[in-house]
């Protein structure tokens, strides 16, 4: 037996230290977020207002949901560049079903979700079965969805004026209804529900275990008798379905499906993932980190706008934050 090497009290203390260490990135990311919030609050009295906080959260909802989709794929050591235009495509599908065909919401919304799910499965098929590198497969699909969206709409937006209640999906507030002091928009509520769901998948289910194993050592997983191709397709499908949720949130917020937007969103989503401490080489990552990352991006954008910093410079700052966040992470790793 292993009598001398292990000492239980030492073990208890150590596992606490270990846990703190493991969560260190999120701790720093979270501190960064708090620091930004305090900084902007001091710089401008308009920043820390209920209405502004809610608008930050509202702005985070779409990017946050997309970032959740991207996180799932990135932990498998893949990448999904099509999240932005797929989101738009799903919004357009919703528009066709609800406005053009006049179908009710209980058909239109599931239909849009299904289209996202199937689109994700297609990317997964390319990656798993045809062995196309994820970067290439999803780059191709990014353009395909962009073109399809424009083709379906003939370049014009589809409005949801005839669908009663559609705007409420994102901008209404069920919570505000119950507790008037907290008028949290539904979009934000949905973001958090999706995050909790995805986090549950990652940490508590077989799928989650395999997502991490795919990213850490796919071959060892395959040689354990796991059908890795099938599970990869499942992951991309799930990510596609979550992109569709983002599409519906976005369409509902602007009350229209705009076929021309979408491209560029994937970069914000991936930025949020990376700031949140998920490794692009796979095998590591958390949903909480991703949400913090998405919040940091929104806070910076919002704060700089309030301080009247021109948009060009906002972009420069966001870019710098990505590099800073990853550098901080590397510093921490280098030390241990």
Partner 1 sequence: MNILVDMSGIEKHFPGVHALKSVQFELREGEVHALMGENGAGKSTLMKILSGVYTRDGGSVQVMGQDVDFAGPREAQDAGVGIIHQELSLMNDLTVAQNIFIGREPRNFLGILDEVLLNKNAKDIFEKMNVGMDVGAEVGTMTIAKQQMVEIAKALSYNSKILIMDEPTAALNDTEIQELFRIIDQLKADGVGIVYISHKMDEIKQISDRVTVMRDGEFVGVRDSKDTSIEDIISMMVGRDLELETEQKPDTSDNMTALEVKNLNRGKFVKNVSFSLKKGEILGFAGLMGAGRTEVARVIFGADRLESGEIFIDGEQKFIDTPSKAVEAGIGYLSEDRKHFGLVLGMDVRTNISLASIARFGSSLGILNEAKISKTATDFISKLDIRTPSEKQEVKLLSGGNQQKVVIAKWLLRDCDILIFDEPTRGVDVGAKSEIYKILRDLAASGKAIIVISSELPEILRLSHRIAVMCEGNLTGFLPANSSQEEIMRLATATMQSSNNKNNQISEMSS
Residues that bind partner 1 (CB under 8 A): 1-7, 10-11, 14-15, 17-18, 204-207, 209-210, 212-213, 216-217, 219-227, 229, 283-284
The owner of tokens 């599970």 is 231
Q: What's the min distance (Å) between Cβ of 159 and partner 1?
A: 39
- 178: helix, coil or strand? helix
- How many angstroms from the chain centroid is the CA of residue 236? 13
Residue with smaller CB distance to partner 1, 18 or 168: 18
Task: Rank residues 100 and 203 by Cβ distance to partner 1 and give the closer one.
Answer: 203
CB nearer to partner 1: give 159 or 284: 284
Q: Which residues pair with 257 in a beta bridge?
A: 158
Query: From the CB of 219, what's the least distance to partner 1, in Å?
Result: 6
Residue whose CB is less far from partner 1, 89 or 231: 231
What tokens were used for 218?
Answer: 């796919």
How far from 311 is each of 6, 303, 317, CA to CA, in Å? Answer: 57, 11, 10
- By beta-carbon proximity to partner 1, the closer residue of 69 and 211 is 211
Minimal distance in Å, beta carbon 96 to partner 1?
Answer: 33
In the bound complex, what is the minimum distance in angstroms from residue 6's beta carbon to partner 1?
Answer: 5
Would you state the structure tokens that stand for residue 295, as one six-digit string? 């919040």
Q: How far apart are CA 250 and CA 295, in angstroms?
A: 17
Nearer CB in complex with partner 1: 124/247: 124
Q: Least separation, in Å, of the C-beta of 129 and partner 1?
A: 12
CB 239 to partner 1: min, Å: 17
The helix or strand, by DSSP H or E, that contains position 97, with its residue range, turns out to be none
* Residue listed under structure tokens 């809610």: 54
Task: Identify the three-state secondary structure at position 226.
Answer: coil
Q: Is 95 helix (H, G, I), strand (E, B) or coil?
A: helix
What is the distance between the alpha carbons of residues 263 and 328, in angstroms, rounded to a whole number? Answer: 29
CA–CA distance, 194 with 328 (Å, rounded to integer)? 28
How far apart are CB 1 and partner 1 at their closest, in Å? 7
Nearer to partner 1, 207 or 306 (CB): 207
Judging by beta carbons within 10 Å of its beta carbon (0-12, 13-18, 19+), is residue 158 exposed, middle or buried? buried
């Amino acid at each position: 037996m292993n009598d001398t090497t292990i000492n239980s009290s030492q073990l208890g203390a150590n596992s606490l230290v270990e846990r703190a260490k493991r969560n260190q990135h999120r701790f720093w990311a979270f501190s960064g977020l708090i620091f930004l919030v305090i900084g902007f609050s001091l710089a401008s009295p308009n920043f820390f207002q209920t209405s502004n906080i809610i608008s930050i959260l509202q702005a985070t909802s779409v990017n946050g949901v997309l970032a959740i989709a991207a996180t799932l794929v990135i932990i498998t050591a893949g990448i999904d560049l099509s999240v932005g235009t797929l989101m738009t495509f799903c919004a357009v599908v919703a528009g066709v079903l609800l406005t053009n065909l006049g179908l009710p919401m209980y058909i239109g919304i599931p239909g849009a979700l299904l289209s996202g799910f199937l689109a994700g499965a297609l990317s997964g098929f390319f990656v798993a079965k045809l062995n196309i590198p994820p970067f290439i497969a999803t780059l191709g699909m990014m353009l395909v969805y962009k073109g399809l969206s424009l083709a379906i709409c003939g370049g014009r937006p589809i409005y949801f004026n005839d669908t009663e209640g559609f705007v409420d999906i994102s901008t209404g507030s069920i919570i505000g209804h119950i507790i008037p002091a907290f008028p949290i928009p539904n979009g934000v509520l949905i973001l958090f529900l999706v995050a909790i769901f995805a986090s549950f998948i990652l940490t508590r289910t077989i799928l989650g275990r395999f997502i991490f194993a795919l990213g850490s050592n796919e071959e060892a997983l395959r040689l354990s008798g796991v059908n890795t191709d099938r599970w990869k397709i499942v992951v991309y499908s799930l990510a596609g379905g979550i992109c569709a949720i983002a599409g519906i949130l976005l369409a509902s917020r602007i009350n229209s499906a705009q076929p021309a937007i979408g491209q560029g969103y994937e970069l914000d989503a991936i930025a949020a993932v990376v700031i949140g401490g998920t490794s692009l080489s796979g095998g590591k990552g958390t949903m909480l980190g991703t949400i913090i990352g998405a919040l940091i991006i929104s806070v910076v954008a919002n704060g700089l706008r309030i301080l009247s910093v021109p948009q060009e410079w906002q972009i420069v700052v966001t870019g710098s934050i990505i590099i800073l966040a990853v550098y901080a992470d590397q510093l921490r790793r280098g030390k241990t």
